[in-house]
A and B are shown apart, each in its own frame.
Chain A
Amino acid sequence: MIYLIFVIFLGGAALTWLSGKIHPILRDVVFLASLIVPSVLFYMNVEVGQTVSFSLIGYKLSWGINYLGYLFSYIVVGLGVLAGFYAIPAMKGKKNLGFFYSNFVLSIMSMLGILFSRDLISFFIFWEIMTWSSYLMVVFQGKDVQKVGIKYFVFSAIGAYAMLMAIVIIYSLNQSMMISDLVSSFASFDPTMQWLIPILLLVGFGVKSAMMPLHVWASGSYSHAPMAYTSIFSGALSKMGIYGMVIVMVSLVPIIPEGFWLRETIAWLGAITAVGGTLWAVAQDDAKKLLAYSSVAQLGYIIVGVAVGTPLAMLAALFMAVMHGLFKGALFMVTGAVERQTGTSNFTEVTGLIRKMPWTFLAALMSIIALAGIPPLGGFVGKWMLYESLIGSSHYILVIVIFFSSTAAFLYCYKFLFGFFLGQEEKEWAHVKEAPAMMVVPMLLLAFGTFVLGAFPGLILDPINAGMQEMGFASTQGKYWEMSMLFNEWGDQIMLQPILYAIIAVFAFFAIFLTIKGFKKTRYVTTKDISSSGEVPLEHENLTFSVNFFQPFLRTVEPLMKRQIDKYYNEFGRGMEALFDFTRRVYTGNGQTYALYAVIFIVILLMFKNTLFGL
C-alpha cells in the first residue's frame, strides 16, 4: 500500500504532464486526482507503525509513518490538496502548466516521502526531490532566476550536502542507515562526532526552515514562486526543516554532554531570525516579500520552541507549525488572489479592495488575527504556550525578544490588511471582481481552521502529544492541555471556550447595537467623502497613504537593520567568482605553457619522490 501511494504520486505527476497535451481540463482532473487519491489511500489504509523495507545497493531502506510524521502529514496533505484546488483557477492562462502541476505533485510526494522515511537514504532522496522540485517552482515564472533561483539552490545544496556529510559519517560509524539505529547508538559515538553530526544536520534543516544565517534565500524564493505554490512552500515545505530539527533536538542533542549550549545557540538564532524577519517584513512594500519575511519570522518562533525543548515548548512549536501552515497558506493564497485580480501585489499600487473582494478579505482578516496571535483564533494558543514555556524554563531575555518580535508583527499585519483591502478606493481598481470560488473556498477553509483550533486546540494537540510520546516525552494531556484548556508549568490556566463565548457575545451585542436603527439609515459614502478640516477633497486629489507606511518606526529600528547578512554573502560570492576567474587563467590556451606544466609536474614528482611516495 505504501508503495502504491508513491507510485500513484509519481505516475500522477507524469500523467498530469502528458494529459496536458490532450486537454487542459483533463490535466486539471488528473492533477487533482493524483493529489487526492494517494492522500485518501494514505489516510484510509496506512496505520502508524506499519513499515515496508527493501534493500538498495546494500543499504536497507525502510518506509513507514510514525506519529510525528502523521502530524506533519496533516499539514502537507491538507495544505497540499487545498492549494491544489486553489492552483487551478489561480494558474489559469499561464504557460507550462503541465510542468507546474507535475512539479506540484512531486513536491507533495517528496514531502510525504520525507515523513515516511525511516532511514537516512530515502530521507535524503526525498529531501533532494523536494529541493529541486521547489527550485523549479521558484524559477517557474522566470524572474531573476540567475540570482534568486541560484541562491535558493545553492543554499539548499549547502544544507543538503551538510546533511549528506552527516549521513555518510553516521553510516561509517553505524554501518546502518536507519534513523532508529542512529538514535539508539548515538550515545556511544565519540564527542567530536556527537557535536559534528547534529550540527551538520541542523545546518541542513536550518536552511529549509530559514534559520538565521541561512535564511537569505527565503524572501526572494517565496515571492518568486507562483503564489499557489508558495502557500505550500512556506506553509508545508519549510515545516520539513522543522520536522528534521525536532528529531535532532529531541533525539540527539540531549545525549550530547554540554549539548545545552547547542540548544541555547539554536534558540537564540531562532529568536534573532524572528526579530530580523519581523523588522524586514515591516519594511516591505510588496505583499509577497512581506509574507516571505513574515514566514521567516514565524519559523523563528517555531525554532525557538523546538530548541528550548521542554514539553510545553515542544507543544507550542508543533502547534505553531500547524498553525503557520494554516494561516500562512491562506495569506499567500490571498496574495495570489489579489495579484490575479489586479495584476500587482504591491501595497503602494493597490488599495481599497474590501468591497470588491469581501470573502478574500474575510480570509485575510482571520488569518492575520491568527498570525498576530490575538485570541480567540488559534495563533494565540501557540503564542501563549511559547511564552509560558519560555518563562517556565527561565529564558527570560528570550521571552522579551520574542515578545518584541511578535508585537512588531502587528505592524506588518496591519500593513497587509490596510495595503490591500482598506484605505482609499481608487478608480483604477473599480473593475476588480472577487476571485473565483475555487480560490476563495480553500482560503476560507484554512482561515476557519485557525478558528476551530483556537477554540479546540486539543484537536491538534492530541496528535502532537502522540508524536511527542513516541519521542520519549511523558504524556502532556491533562498536564498542559485539555480539549479547550491550556495550562502552564505552574498550573495557571486558560479556558478557551469561555473566552470565545465572551468575545462572541460582546461582539454580537455591539454589532446588533450598532446595526439596529443604524446601518439601514446610514448611507454608504465613498472614501473621498471624509472630513478633511472642513474641506471636501476633490475627486482628483490623491489621499492614498501607502508609501513610507511605518517610516517613523523603521527610522527607530534602523540600527538593527543596518547589518544585512545577505550583503556579506553576495560579497563572498563575488569574491569567490573573482578567485575562480584566477583559476580559469591557469589554462592559458598556450600549448607551450601546458608543456611547461607537464615538465614542472614531473620535475616536482621526481625531486620529492622520496617524501611523496614514502620511500
Chain B
Amino acid sequence: MVGSPVLLIAIPLLAAFMIPLLGMIWKELVRIIPGLVLAFMMISSASMLMYVTNNGTIIQTLAGWEAPWGINLVFSPLTAFLATLMTFMGFIVWLYSYRFKRNVDFEPAKKYFIFLMMLVAGAVGIVITGDIFNQFVFIEITGISAYALTAFYTGRNSAEASFKYLLMGALSSSALLIAIAIIYSQLGTLNMADIASKIHLMPAGYKVTALIFFMMGIGIEAEIFPLNGWAPDAYTEAPGPIGAAFAGIVVKAGVYAMVRMVFTLFDVSGAMDILLTIGLITLIVAETAAIRQEKLKRMLAYSSIGQMGLVFVAFGIGTLEGVYAALFLMLNHAIIKPLLFLSGSQLVFNSKEKLIKEVNGLGKYMPFTAVLFALGSFAIVGLPPFAGFWSKLSVLTAAANEGMLLIIALILIVSVIEIVYYFRVVNRIYFFDKAEDLIPQKPRVNAVIAMSVLGAIILIIGFNPDVVSTVLHNASADLMDTPQYIKNVLSAGQSLTN
C-alpha cells in the first residue's frame, strides 16, 4: 500500500500552492509537478484499492477527532474504485495536455495545471470524505476550479459559459447548505455514518425536504435534468481535455454524492423511483437534444448528460445488480467519453467554430485520431465487443430482473438515437470530403499515448470484462450495505479512541 487517503487530498493541495513558486525556478516544473502528483495519486489509490479489496475498508480520521465528531475519510471498495478511476483520468488528461500552450504562454499554462490538479483533488475529496460538510467544501473546491477552467479561453463565450456555471453552482451551494443546515438542526451531526444511523429519528417532513435540497444541490453537479443547463455550454467552451475531465471526473463525483445520499444517508422509500424517473427524463431529453447539435463538443456534452441519466436509471433500479450496472456504466463512461472528448477536440483542433461538419474527411489526414474517435463511438453506443456493450447489457439485465420492460424499451430506443448521431459524425470523418481551408492537426506523442491507453482499455474491457468485474462487484456490494458502512466508520472511531 502506497500512501494513505489523506495524502490524496493533502498532496495536490500542497502542490497547488507550491507550483507558482517552483515555476519561478524552472518553467517546465509547472507541467511536470502536476503530472507527478497525479501519477502519485493514481498509484496510491490503485494500490489502496488492492489493499481495500483484500483487507476491507480503510477509515482515516483527521486530527485525532474520532468518527462522529471529527472529519474522517472512508476508503471503501466503492470510494477506492471511484478515486482510482478519477485519479487515473486526471493523469490521462494531464498526459494529453502536457504540451498545452508550451513555449507560448506561461501564465495560462500555470493556471491550467493548478486548476486541473485542484479539480481532481476536489473530486477525489468528494468521494472519499465521510462528512457532509467536508463534502460540501470539496464540492466548492471542484466547482471553483471548474468555473475557472471553463473560462480559461478568455473570450465572450467562455466567460458566458463560466458565468452560467457559476450561477448554477451558487444555487447548488445554497441548496446544499440549506440541506446540511436542516440535517444538523435535527440530528446534530455531520458525519455521514452517524446521520445514516440516526436518520430514522428525523421527522419525515424534514427528512424529505433535506433530501430534496440535497438532490437539487448535487443534481446540478451531477447534470440531471433540468438542472444541467450549464453543462453543454461549459463542456463546449472549456478546453477539450477539460471537457474530458468534466465527463470523467467531476460528474462522477456528483453522481457519487447523489447516490451516497439516496442509498446510505436517507431511508426515504420513494427516492429510488425519483432517481429512476429523473434519470430517464435526463436520458431522453439529453439524447434527443444531442441529435440536433451542430458543434461536436456540444453533442458530446449532451451525450454525456444522457449517459449520466442512464447511470441514474441504473441506480434507480435499486437492486445490487442495478448498482453494479450503474458503476460499470460509470467506469465505461469515464473511459470512453474522455476518449471521445480528447480525440474529438483533436479533430476540431484547427477549426474556428468547432462544428461537426468541420470534421469532414479528416479520417484520411488524421487516421489515428479518427480511428480512436470511431472506436469511442462504437463503444459508447454499446456495440460489442467493445466496453460499452457490457455495461449496457448489465443495465438491461438488472432492469429485466425487476420486470421493468418499458424502461428497457426506452433505454434501447434512446440507444438507437445515440447511434444515429454518433454514426453521422463517424461517417463525416471517413466518407466526406475535407474542407479545403482546414489544416488537419497532427496529434502530439503525449496525446497519442493518452488516447491509445484509453482505446486499449476499451478493447481490454470489451474482450474480457472480467478484469473489472470483481472490483465492481465489491464496490456495488459496498454501496448497498449501509449497516456495514455505519459499523466500519463508527467502530473505527472507537478503536482509535481506545
- Does chain A touch chain B in the assembled complex, meaning CB atoms less than 8 Å apart? yes
Where the two chains meet, the residues of A that have a C-beta atom closer than 8 Å to any C-beta of B are 56-58, 121, 124-125, 128-129, 131-132, 135, 139, 142, 145-146, 149-150, 153-154, 157-158, 161-162, 164-165, 168-169, 171-172, 196, 577, 579-581, 583-584, 586-589, 591, 593-595, 597-598, 600-602, 605-606, 609, 612-615
B415, CB-defined interface residue at 8 Å? yes
- Given A139-B430, A149-B427, A597-B229, verify A158-B288 contact (CB < 8 Å): no
- Are B289 and A129 interface neighbours, CB within 8 A? no
Residues of B with C-beta under 8 A to A600: 226
The answer to whether A593 and B229 touch across the interface, beta carbons within 8 angstroms, is yes
Q: Please determine whether B412 and A161 come into contact, CB atoms closer than 8 angstroms.
A: yes
- Identify 16 residue pairs between A and B in the complex whose beta-carbon atoms are under 8 Å apart, listed by A's number: A125-B384, A128-B389, A129-B385, A153-B423, A161-B412, A161-B413, A162-B412, A165-B412, A168-B408, A172-B400, A577-B291, A591-B167, A593-B229, A595-B167, A601-B216, A613-B270
A125 to B226, CA, bound (A): 35
Contact B227 A601 (CB under 8 A): yes
- Across the interface, do B397 and A172 meet the contact criterion of CB distance under 8 Å? yes
How far, in whole Å, are A21 and B427 apart by their CA atoms in the complex?
23
Interface string of B249-278 (1 = CB under 8 A from A): 000000000000000000011110110000
Nearest neighbor of A599 in chain B, beta-carbon distance: B171
| Complex: A335 Cα to B432 Cα, angstroms | 26
- Tell me if B400 and A168 are in contact (CB < 8 A): yes
Measured CA separation A600–B219 after assembly (Å): 14
From residue B428, how far is it (CB to closest CB) to chain A in Å?
8
Whether the Cβ atoms of B412 and A164 lie closer than 8 Å is yes
Which residue of B168, B383, B390, B424 contacts A132 across the interface (Cβ within 8 Å)?
B383
> Using Cβ atoms and an 8 Å threshold, which residues of chain A touch B240?
none
Chain B residues within CB distance 8 Å of chain A: 160, 163-164, 167-168, 171, 175, 204-205, 208-209, 211-213, 215-216, 219-220, 226-227, 229-230, 232-233, 268-271, 273-274, 285, 288-289, 291-293, 378, 383-385, 389-390, 393-394, 396-397, 399-401, 403, 405, 408-409, 412-413, 415-417, 419-420, 423-424, 427-428, 430-432, 464-466, 469
Residues of A within 8 A of B171 (CB): 595, 598
User: CB-CB < 8 A to B219: which residues of A?
Assistant: 601
Bound form: Cα–Cα A64–B400 in Å: 28
Main secondary structure of the interface of A (DSSP, over half): helix
Contact between A154 and B226, CB atoms less than 8 A apart: no
Given contacts A150-B423, A164-B396, 19 further A-B contacts (CB under 8 A): A57-B390, A57-B466, A124-B384, A142-B431, A172-B400, A172-B401, A577-B291, A580-B291, A591-B167, A594-B230, A595-B171, A601-B216, A602-B175, A602-B213, A602-B216, A609-B208, A612-B270, A612-B274, A614-B270
Query: B175 to chain A: which residues have CB within 8 Å?
Result: 602
Task: Give A170 Cβ to nearest chain B Cβ, in Å.
Answer: 9
Q: For the complex, what is the distance from the CA of A125 to the CA of B389, rounded to whole Å?
A: 9
Distance between Cα atoms of A158 and B164 in the complex (Å): 38
The complex places the Cα of A135 from the Cα of B213 at a distance, in Å, of 47
Q: A591 and B469 in contact (CB under 8 A), knowing A157-B419, A171-B397?
A: no
Contact present for A157 and B415 (CB under 8 Å): yes
A614 → B minimal CB distance (Å): 4
Smallest distance from the beta carbon of B146 to chain A beta carbons, Å?
16
Given contacts A149-B427, A161-B416, contact A594 B288 (CB under 8 A): no
Query: Contacts A591-B167, A594-B230, A595-B168; is A171 near B427 (CB within 8 Å)?
Result: no
The smallest C-beta distance from A140 to any residue of chain B, in angstroms, reads 9
A50 to chain B, nearest CB (A): 23
A136 and B226 alpha carbons, distance in the complex (Å)? 37
Hey, which chain A residues are within 8 Å of B213, CB to CB?
602
Asked, given contacts A57-B465, A58-B469, A139-B430, whether A598 binds B227 with beta carbons under 8 Å apart, the answer is yes
Q: Which A-chain residue is minimally distant from B385 (CB atoms)?
A: A125
Contacts of B464 in A (CB 8 A): 56
- Complex Cα distance, B400 from A135, in Å, reads 29
Contact B419 A153 (CB under 8 A): yes
Q: In whole Å, how far is A259's beta carbon from the nearest beta carbon of chain B?
A: 21
- A372 to chain B minimum Cβ distance, whole angstroms, is 37
Chain A residues whose CB sits within 8 angstroms of the CB of B232 once the complex forms: 587
Which of chain B's residues have a CB closer than 8 A to the CB of A580?
Answer: 288-289, 291-292, 417
The complex places the Cα of A614 from the Cα of B207 at a distance, in Å, of: 12
- Kindly state the separation between the CA atoms of A164 and B393 in the bound complex, as whole angstroms: 8
Q: Known interface pairs A146-B424, A587-B232. Does A165 touch B409 (Cβ–Cβ under 8 Å)?
A: yes
A-chain residues with CB within 8 Å of residue B163 when the two chains form the complex: 591
- A161 lies within 8 A of B383 (CB): no
Are A587 and B289 closer than 8 Å at their CB atoms?
A: yes
Report the minimal beta-carbon distance from A246 to chain B, rounded to whole angstroms.
Answer: 23
Q: How far is the CA of A128 from the CA of B416 in the complex (A)?
A: 13
Shortest beta-carbon distance, B241 to chain A, in Å?
23
From residue A101, how far is it (CB to closest CB) to chain B in Å?
16
Instruction: Give min CB distance, A478 to chain B, whole Å.
Output: 44
Q: Are B430 and A583 in contact (CB under 8 A)?
A: no
Q: Considering the complex of A and B, which 10 residue pairs feature the smallest CB-CB distances, nearest first?
A: A594-B229, A613-B270, A172-B400, A614-B270, A142-B431, A161-B412, A597-B226, A168-B400, A125-B384, A591-B164
Name which of A588, A601, A615 has the most chain B CB atoms within 10 A of its CB.
Answer: A601
Contacts of B291 in A (CB 8 A): 577, 580
A577 CA to B396 CA, complexed, in Å: 26
A139 proximity list for chain B (CB < 8 A): 427, 430-431
CB <8 Å contact, B227 and A597 = yes
Q: Which residues of B contact A164 (CB under 8 A)?
A: 393, 396, 412
Whether B416 and A154, one on each chain, are in contact in the complex, defined by CB atoms closer than 8 angstroms, is yes
* Complex CA–CA separation, A161 to B408 (angstroms): 10
